[in-house]
Amino acid sequence: MKATVLAGEAAPPRWRTARREIALDRSCVVGILNVTPDSFSDGGRYPTVEAAVSAARRMAGDGAAVIDVGGESTRPGAARPGEAEEIRRVVPVVRAVAALGLAVSVDTRRAAVAAAALEAGAEIVNDVSALAGDPRMAEVVRAAGAGLVLMHMRGEPQTMDALARYGDVAAEVAAELAARRDLALAAGVPREAVVLDPGLGFAKLPEHNLALLGALDAVAALGHPVMVGPSRKRFLGAVTGRPVDQRDAATAAACVAARLRGARLFRVHDVAGVREALAVADAILAAAPRAA
């Protein structure tokens, strides 16, 4: 399939991680594996390492190129586990999934958790605080040569809802992400390792999430691959009236909309459905690269 570059998008077609380069000439699906008791959609679903590994295998079989393992729920108001507990949740699962040869990212705001996961075979750090959560994070990522996802948020998951005030949400999110990206580069993280994520649902009201998806080109224009994580989130319930366990069609629609505005990576629970929807979007873009 031909690579497509959208107007205003100068993203490199590859993402460098600690163990490989991930091709982004077609959409890349990142499967969510939350090993938490309290995540809003899949909390408590994988109580053993074996259950988590078989979920990872299934997602890889469905077309996930990366498995994102998280040990902390960041839904609004969630209680934070201690650092030792987060490591205890995440590391055995990371080790077992990485041993299958799959690309593993660790979803954490803590440098010690990231370091332990990277040591266990993870190759990407997905930091929802975009380096604001721990002053040692950039150095841990740099030293491991890991990929880095910088996600936009304001404040903390406990406080972020009060900070959802924007004039031009896409322009503000892009500017705030650019500042976090500059910090990462200044700390020695290579440009090719950095992916940017607008943080759907983080310090954003439903209308902010929708406006961001419609103007995602502003983030893509920063010149890094863009990841989005709309999966089963509240704003999709606000549009469709569906409860959390019935939002996979809405998730696929949001991913396709984001793909047409330049996103390349899609963090989702329902890998098979989203992979199929994105195959159609990729085919349309390949047939008419200037369509969007």
31 beta partners: 67, 268
CA atoms lying within 13 Å on the CB side of residue 260: 14
Residue 153 to residue 166: CA distance in whole angstroms: 12
Q: Which residue's entry shows tokens 């390349």?
A: 264
Q: Nearest CA to 217 among 2, 5, 1, 9?
A: 9
Q: To the nearest whole angstrom, how small is the minimum distance from the Cβ of residue 191 to ligand HH2? A: 18
Task: Using the minimum distance from each CB to ligand HH2, give the nearer residue, 66 or 120.
Answer: 66
Task: Using the minimum distance from each CB to ligand HH2, give the nearer residue, 4 or 39.
Answer: 39
The site for ligand HH2, by CB under 6 A, has a size of 22
Q: Active site includes 142? A: no
**Interface stretch with ligand HH2, choices 4-12, 68-76, 79-87, 281-289 (CB under 6 A):** 68-76
For residues 107 to 146, the per-residue mask of contacts with ligand HH2, x marking binding by CB under 6 A and - elsewhere, is: x------------------x-x------------------
Q: Active site includes 109? A: no
Q: How many residues does the chain have?
A: 292
9 binds ligand HH2 (CB under 6 A): no
**Interface stretch with ligand HH2, choices 66-74, 132-140, 178-186, 217-225 (CB under 6 A):** 66-74
- 99: tokens are 């041993």
HEC profile of 11-58? CCCEEECCCCEEECCCCEEEEEEECCCCCCCCCCCCCCHHHHHHHHHH
91 binds ligand HH2 (CB under 6 A): no
Task: Using the minimum distance from each CB to ligand HH2, give the nearer residue, 91 or 254.
Answer: 254
Considering the candidates 233, 261, 264, 275, report the single residue annotated as catalytic: 233
Q: To the nearest whole angstrom, how small is the minimum distance from the Cβ of residue 269 to ligand HH2? A: 7
250 binds ligand HH2 (CB under 6 A): no
Residue 116 to residue 22: CA distance in whole angstroms: 22
70 binds ligand HH2 (CB under 6 A): yes
Residue 56 to residue 220: CA distance in whole angstroms: 29
**Interface stretch with ligand HH2, choices 50-58, 207-215, 223-231, 253-261 (CB under 6 A):** 223-231
| Strands (DSSP E) found in 36-190 | 64-70, 103-107, 124-127, 147-151
The single residue among 40, 172, 239, 284 that binds ligand HH2, judged by CB under 6 A, is 40
Interacting residues of 250 by C-beta distance below 8 A, sequence separation 6+: 236, 239, 240, 242
The single residue among 4, 17, 27, 36 that binds ligand HH2, judged by CB under 6 A, is 36
- 63: tokens are 């077309």
Active site residues: 233, 267
Binding site for ligand HH2 (CB under 6 A): 32, 34, 36, 39-41, 70, 73-75, 107, 126, 128, 149, 151, 197, 199-200, 227, 229, 231, 267
